[in-house]
Structure 1
């Protein structure tokens, strides 16, 4: 039929310049709603209305898709490399120094922007919570004695110290903590981190 409006093509999206961003936007929403374990690559492809092969074209697997969905300015695996191999009784100083090295590297501006952009956003907070549990706390608590529930609690308590340190020193810049040397920060903060890792969590009777 000549002169008519061409028929609308239906079906899955083909590859294009915006396909990758569409996959990421869809993945962010699904990871935030259902968590890492509750989200599959096939589900992401279905929600984005494209062939699953397109998702695999841009991302090696679900771990890579999840990591890039969060848009972290640094790779937690690199920052905490080797921490899980240390004796739990000697792990706290390495954790604190790793945090300080990261935040005092060229990634600092990106980290501050990430933290500020996450606070107040339910979707970004959910993604961050999932990432922290899977990537960071699992390394910090590897090999700790006690039940899995106790290790999870210890990891969460360590996170309160580390997150508080990051916010007060680098985002709020509260003095005198903001100007303290790295060695001084380690001396003051590492004992608290170590207590949460291996110390008693209940007061003695």
Structure 2
């Protein structure tokens, strides 16, 4: 007998689970059929539940985390500890959302639009408030760009490329080893532009 399965439908969740795996492995482009196949559904079901593959991507990458909450303790730290606190907060949050983060980073590497959105998000919501709070001078944009480069590189090496020992390191180890560089960008002297 064919037709609709008995009981509550799990199709939406099955599509989300399949999409997380496929997006994390391959990014977004050319994945609709593979997602449907892994979920055991017709590709039209993606449009039915999510409107489009773009809607599915948004559902997969929706973080249930407010960056303001993540960086709040950092903003209360002493200037000398700000970089370490920032890295601890970010890595702990990223670790809790590693599949989503991996999907975002890989997809941003393939999409100018998503790369721009990610850049704006990192600079305005995660790095910007910290730099504005701790910068000892008026070079906020330069410090924010340098800090964002370090943070983006850390995301890439830890979650996408999975380079050891960084990939499996404890957040405190990451903060201790990467912190001095981030602290220099945040509060240290910078070369003239």
Q: TM-score range by the shorter chain?
A: 0.5 to 0.7
User: Could you say which residue in structure 2 is the equivalent of 1:170?
Assistant: 159
Q: What RMSD in Å do the two structures reach over aligned CA positions?
A: 2.1
User: Could you say which residue in structure 2 is the equivalent of 1:202?
Assistant: 191
Contact (CA 8 Å) 1:118, 1:124: kept in 2 or not? yes
Deviation by residue 1:170-197 (Cα, 9 ceiling, x = unmatched): 1110122212232221211011111111
Structure 1 segment 155-166 matched on structure 2, within 5 A: 155-166=144-155
Deviation by residue 1:53-103 (Cα, 9 ceiling, x = unmatched): xxxxxxxxxxxxxxx89x542321222123223332220111110111012
Aligned counterparts of 2:126 and 2:175: Cα–Cα separation in 1:
19
Contact (CA 8 Å) 1:137, 1:155: kept in 2 or not? yes
Aligned counterparts of 1:133 and 1:103: Cα–Cα separation in 2:
17
Contact (CA 8 Å) 2:82, 2:183: kept in 1 or not? yes
Unaligned stretches of 5+ residues in structure 1: 1-67
Whichever structure has more helix as a proportion of its residues is 2
Larger Rg: 1
What stretches of structure 1 move > 6 A for 4+ residues in a row? none
Q: 2:71 aligns with which of 80, 90, 93?
A: 80
Contact (CA 8 Å) 1:83, 1:139: kept in 2 or not? no
Give the alignment's TM-score, normalised by structure 1: 0.58
User: Could you say which residue in structure 2 is the equivalent of 1:126?
Assistant: 116
User: Could you say which residue in structure 1 is the equivalent of 2:22?
Assistant: none
**Secondary structure in structure 2 of the residue aligned to 1:83:** helix
Question: Is 1:139 equivalent to 2:129 in the alignment?
Answer: yes
User: Could you say which residue in structure 1 is the equivalent of 2:178?
Assistant: 189
Deviation by residue 1:127-153 (Cα, 9 ceiling, x = unmatched): 222222221222111232211xx1111
Aligned counterparts of 1:198 and 1:145: Cα–Cα separation in 2:
6
Aligned counterparts of 1:86 and 1:184: Cα–Cα separation in 2:
19
Unaligned stretches of 5+ residues in structure 2: 1-57
Contact (CA 8 Å) 1:84, 1:142: kept in 2 or not? no
Compared CA separation, residues 180 and 114, structure 1 to 2 (3 A): same
User: Could you say which residue in structure 1 is the equivalent of 2:86?
Assistant: 95
